[in-house]
């Protein structure tokens, strides 16, 4: 819009390059041969970019060809990169330091000589702080989640065991001890619950949502509190009259 050019137009550009002057304090301008370029498209500016958005973007191979045409050795005066594993940022800093790159000392005299490095990690730090706050919030809900699991462990067996009163009463009438009957019913209910929780933990590990240790801890916590709720339900279930159930008066 500023230049009146649009995608598909062809325009001739005057080119020049800057090289480091004496002692790296100044820059020298060297005129290059003009080139004609075909405008392939228009890019959308990034409003969050620290540096000024460039007016023109050229393919790297095209830039190298321009330098070669003008008998000038091409080298990049600056480059940028993105750390793909931000949790290993300190290791990246050490590798760059070992490679000879040095951090920019703010307040020192401006110089174009040397190799400087600027790491913009503020976005990563803010993201980490936000993640820490979210984690703290989730951890504050952990006691309530455990209470809900224990409540589910109590309610579900209570509803299931109500239909097995006659079965329990018959076993007791045949001489089976109360503890053995209760333990048998309890184990019959806990095994499917433990298997289902284990399958969920295994799926989370397989999908990469959690590591094996965290998955085992989550599975263990769930099982412990579910067993506590189921144990309370089983204790309450056994407190009824066997004779009343067998005589169908309960």
Whether residue 207 has pLDDT greater than 70? yes
Mean pLDDT of the chain: 80
Token pair, residue 229, equals 């709720």
Q: What percent of the chain has pLDDT over 70?
A: 84
pLDDT of residue 243: 66
Domain ranges within the chain, ordered by starting residue:
1-77, 141-246
Residue 116 contacts residue 104 (beta carbons within 8 Å): yes
Read off the pLDDT of residues 86-107 as tens digits, 9 standing for 90 and up.
Answer: 778 788 888 888 877 777 666 6
Whether residue 226 has pLDDT greater than 70? yes
Q: Give the closest residue to 12 by CA, choosing from 28, 26, 32, 30.
A: 32
* 168 vs 215 pLDDT, higher one: 215
pLDDT of residue 42: 80
Mapped onto helix, strand or coil, the DSSP state of residue 115 is: coil
179: CB partners within 8 A, 6+ apart: none
Helix 212-237 with 178-206: angle, nearest 10 deg: 160
Give the phi and the psi of residue 212 in degrees, each rounded to 5.
-55, -40
Q: Give the closest residue to 225 by CA, choosing from 142, 119, 148.
A: 148
Mean pLDDT of 186-205: 87
Q: What percent of the chain has pLDDT over 90?
A: 5
* Distance in angstroms (rounded) separating the CA atoms of residues 129 and 131: 5
Mean pLDDT of 184-191: 86
Whether residue 250 has pLDDT greater than 50? no
* Distance in angstroms (rounded) separating the CA atoms of residues 245 and 250: 5
pLDDT of residue 18: 82
Whether residue 237 has pLDDT greater than 80? no
Is the whole model's pTM more than 0.85, yes or no?
no
Read off the pLDDT of residues 109-159 as tens digits, 9 standing for 90 and up.
Answer: 666 666 677 777 777 777 777 777 887 887 788 888 889 989 998 888 888
* Distance in angstroms (rounded) separating the CA atoms of residues 9 and 11: 7
Whether residue 33 has pLDDT greater than 80? yes
Read off the pLDDT of residues 42-81 as tens digits, 9 standing for 90 and up.
Answer: 877 777 666 677 778 888 889 999 999 999 888 777 777 7
């Amino acid at each position: 819009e500023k230049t009146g050019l649009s995608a598909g137009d062809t325009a001739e550009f005057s080119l020049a390059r800057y090289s480091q002057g004496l002692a790296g304090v100044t820059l020298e301008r060297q005129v290059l041969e003009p080139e004609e370029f075909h405008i392939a498209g228009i890019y959308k500016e990034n409003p969050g970019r620290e540096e000024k958005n460039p007016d023109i973007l050229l393919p790297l191979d095209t830039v190298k060809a321009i330098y070669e045409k003008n008998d000038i050795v091409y080298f990049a005066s600056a480059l940028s990169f993105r750390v793909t594993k931000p949790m290993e940022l300190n290791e990246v800093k050490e590798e760059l330091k070992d490679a000879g790159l040095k951090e920019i000392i703010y307040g020192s005299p401006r110089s174009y000589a040397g190799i400087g490095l600027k790491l913009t990690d503020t976005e990563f730090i803010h993201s980490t702080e936000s993640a820490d706050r979210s984690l703290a919030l989730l951890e504050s809900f952990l006691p309530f989640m455990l209470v809900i699991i224990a409540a589910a462990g109590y309610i579900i067996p209570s509803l299931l065991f109500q239909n097995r009163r006659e079965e329990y009463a018959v076993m007791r009438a045949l001489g089976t001890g109360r503890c053995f009957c209760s333990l048998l019913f309890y184990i019959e209910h806990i095994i499917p619950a433990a298997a289902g929780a284990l399958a969920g933990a295994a799926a989370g590990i397989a999908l990469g949502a959690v590591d094996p240790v965290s998955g085992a801890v989550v599975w263990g916590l769930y099982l412990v509190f579910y067993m506590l709720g189921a144990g309370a339900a089983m204790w309450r279930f056994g407190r009824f009259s066997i004779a009343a159930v067998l005589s169908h008066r309960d």
